[in-house]
Structure 1
Amino acid sequence: MSFDVPQDLYYLESHEWIDPDTGRVGISDFAQDELGDVVFVELPGEGDELERDAEFGVVESIKAVSDVYAPVSGTVAAVNDDLEQQPELVNEDPYGDGWFLELDFDEDDLEGLLTADEYEDQIA
């Protein structure tokens, strides 16, 4: 099976992604597929401070409950409130409408994250 792995994003081994241009964070196509139908997403609030690699939320599916981790340290600038009423957006569009939050972060913090190619190798 082939999964969508956008080339312009950075990834954690735990399957979270970050867009370096917008600070938008979510989970990968591979992760949402592994989870199955997402039924609930718990996210932090705007203004919360996140630490790199620290848990910031929970994704609950019909199969499992999974923690979600911050790919970088930063301040939550925006949260995708649509996920409260439509958690299935995570399955339908993990890199678009299914994003979790946006962070204000230091670009130096992208060091050490996986490139798209490295992430593809990991999930192959």
Structure 2
Amino acid sequence: MTALPTDRLYSEEHEWVNSTDINAGDTVRVGITHIAADALGEIVFAELPEVGTEIEAGEPFGEVESTKSVSDIYAPVSGEITAVNEEIADNAGIINEDPYEAGWLYEVTVTVAPAADDLLDHEAYAADNV
């Protein structure tokens, strides 16, 4: 079983951000949790935004497709996409295999720092989902 990293913040929609202290101007990496990946089953495709796309926290901006279903991906923070994980286009299954490292989805430069209660620390996320 995959352990939930303690060095990240989590959204209620099962996305993670690789920082526990996010400020405007920071660039952070985003992905989906192993809990979401496990619930989806074998992920076969991910639709990700293009570099330069503006995203807004809490809004859907892409989707992941598995052999069982299609699910929206929600932005955990507001900002501009600065990079996407090109490996996902060729092998979306890496999201299942390594959701916290190789299976990251995109990087975003944060335009508005999230409020303290917008995202969950690993203990709060685990309490609701494990």
Larger helix percent:
1
**Partner Cα distance (1:102, 1:4) in 2:** 22
TM-score if structure 2 supplies the norm length? 0.89
Residue 86 (1) aligns with residue 91 (2): yes
TM-score if structure 1 supplies the norm length? 0.93
- The residue correspondences of 1:71-82 to structure 2 (distance < 5 A) are 71-82=76-87
Which residue number in structure 2 is paired with residue 115 of structure 1?
121
Residue 5 (1) aligns with residue 4 (2): yes
Gapped runs of 5+ residues in structure 2?
A: 20-25
Identity %, equivalent residues: 44
Residues 13 and 60 from structure 1, CA distance in 2 versus in 1: closer, same or farther, beyond 3 angstroms?
A: same
Query: 1:8-59 CA distances to partner (integer Å, 9 max, x unpaired)?
Result: 1000111001112751000001110000000000000001000000001100
Shift of 1:110: 5.5
Q: Runs in 1 of length 4+ with deviation above 3 angstroms?
A: none
- RMSD value, Cα: 1.5
Residues 97 and 3 from structure 1, CA distance in 2 versus in 1: closer, same or farther, beyond 3 angstroms?
A: closer
Gapped runs of 5+ residues in structure 1?
A: none
**Partner Cα distance (1:110, 1:19) in 2:** 16
Which residue number in structure 2 is paired with residue 19 of structure 1?
18
